[in-house]
Amino acid sequence: MNASSWTPADVSAVVCTLESISGIERCLSSLRDAGVGQLIVVDAGSRDGTRQAAERLADLVLDDPGTGLGNARNVGIAATTLPLVLNMGSDNVMPPGQLSRMIDALQRLDVQGVSAQTLVDGSDYVSRGLNAWRSGRFVSGPAAVIGTPTLFVGDLLRAHPYDATRRFSDDSELCERWTRELGARFAISDAHVLEVGKASWDEVVVRCRMYGISDEEVFRIGRGSGWSTRRQVASLLHPLKADLMEPVTRLRPFEAVVSAPFLAVFAGMRYAFWARAAANRGQRGDAGD
């Protein structure tokens, strides 16, 4: 099929889950309503009813062996059959018309992958802080790395899938590898999805923990592969730049002042979990792996 005629029916959607009953039905229903041609769920042994909900709504439910998100995504991707592959979080909801906007951006910008902007569903301080963080950090246009939800050219993703050894840093690894080896290009589209059930400090801590572990993983592997000093410094400064400095400079003055404390705490927690992950690895004696 000619790429110019791609529609939502040409999309295989992959959703990885674990104990996601609070949002999985809304997520999968939104993808059905968006018109995806294939809906695949990869479940990591949920016992809260997630799998049963997925079996009602998805075309295929597969087992996640529990070795990391990269491998879980690969399990789903290997089962896809359509021209485009959408990776969607189980806490994401696709509003009407937004998948078509992602497809349009993929074609119009002539890139190999696009992401959508994510808006937290809520109006309290944490929700406003997360939305300020996202709007200041993820701006429409070309991007070196894109994160979930992502829409990729299917054949390319099936031939060059995620690094199955990565726990959390799978998006950055894939984008950097594709750019280096395939000359691929990526962009953030003007489409948006909603993120539900994440507007609490507990969820912010969980997010920062995942980012911190990812930061440690990326830095350790990159340094081991021969990164220059400049590249190592850039990695060390990334949370400060991406989570505080860039959002503050891009937000309107009043919004920047109100959001700055939240953004500072966010960046600080990310560094704290990075340090903890490095310390834990050192205690296990595998710091050089």
Euclidean distance between CA atoms 283 and 285, whole angstroms: 5
- For 232-242, the pLDDT digits (tens) are 999 999 999 98
Same-domain pairing of 269 and 143: no
Q: With 60 as the cut, is the pLDDT of residue 2 above it?
A: no
pLDDT band at 287 (very low <50, low <70, confident <90, very high): very low
**Which CATH number covers residue 161?**
3.90.550.10
Domain that holds residue 242: 203-282
Average pLDDT over residues 87-94: 93
Q: How many domains does the chain have?
A: 2
Residue whose entry in the numeric block shows the structure tokens 């049963």: 52
What are the tokens at 257? Answer: 């002042």
Domain stop point among 146, 178, 198: 198
Q: With 70 as the cut, is the pLDDT of residue 75 above it?
A: yes
Question: Could you tell me what percent of the chain has a pLDDT over 70?
Answer: 96
User: Has residue 17 been placed in a domain?
Assistant: yes
Euclidean distance between CA atoms 192 and 62, whole angstroms: 27
Q: Residue 142 forms beta bridges with which residues? A: 187
CB 110 within 8 A of CB 183: no
Q: Residue 39 forms beta bridges with which residues? A: 13
Average pLDDT over residues 248-263: 91
- SS3 label, residue 201: helix
Q: In this predicted structure, what is the pLDDT of residue 4?
A: 62
Same-domain pairing of 209 and 275: yes
Euclidean distance between CA atoms 238 and 142, whole angstroms: 18
Q: In this predicted structure, what is the pLDDT of residue 182?
A: 96
- For 214-231, the pLDDT digits (tens) are 899 889 999 999 999 999
